[in-house]
Structures are given as structure tokens and as C-alpha cells.
Amino acid sequence: MRARDITPTTPGERRNRPAQVSGWFLIGVVAALASFGTFLGWLYAPFFLTVAVVCSIGAIVAGHVGRARRYRAGRSQALACIVLAWLGLAVSALAVLVHLGVLVGFAALFG
């Protein structure tokens, strides 16, 4: 027997429970990491940028829902998910501007 099992508890005493992780947090982290993982392959830039933007928006929504839940254990993790998602959107916007700049530069050079 463990010491915890033989220790009597009073009605007002709370036992330690394992931390609960929100499913929304897990969805948001997967989406945020997927938005960064899409930048590894630039075979077809519009497809990867579209996937990155969709994943980032999904991570932002899941992170906000996760923070709205009442779990203390997942609130800071959900905030990290939201920050990663906004960072992913910023990198996506910068990549779109670079992509358009390259296209306009080639059009001006060879046009």
C-alpha cells in the first residue's frame, strides 16, 4: 500500500489529482505546429501558405476556447498556442509579400 492510501482524509481535504489537459489545447498545438511544419516544403508555395493560414486560424480558435475553459493546468499552454498561431500568421503574411515581390520583380525584369 502507498502512504497516500492509508492516510485518512477529512471531508474538507482535497486529494491531489493528475492535471487535466484540454482537448482544445491539443488541437491548437497540433494546428500551430502544422502551420510551421508546412514551411519546410516549398514545392508549391500557394498550397503550403493556404495550409499554414488555415492551421493558424484553427490554432487561434482552439487556443481561445482552451483558455475560456476552467482548467488551470492548460491556460498557459493555450496562451502559448495562441502566440504560436499569431506568429504563424505573421510568417505566412511575410511569405505572401515575399512571393508577390518576387513575381512582380520577375514581371518587371522580363516583362
pLDDT of residue 12: 60
pLDDT of residue 52: 81
Longest dimension (CA), the chain: 83
pTM greater than 0.75 (yes/no) = no
**Residue with cell string 488555415:** 54
pLDDT tens sequence across 20-78: 666 777 777 787 777 666 655 566 777 778 888 888 888 888 888 888 876 666 678 88
**How far, in Å, CA of 89 to CA of 91, rounded?**
5
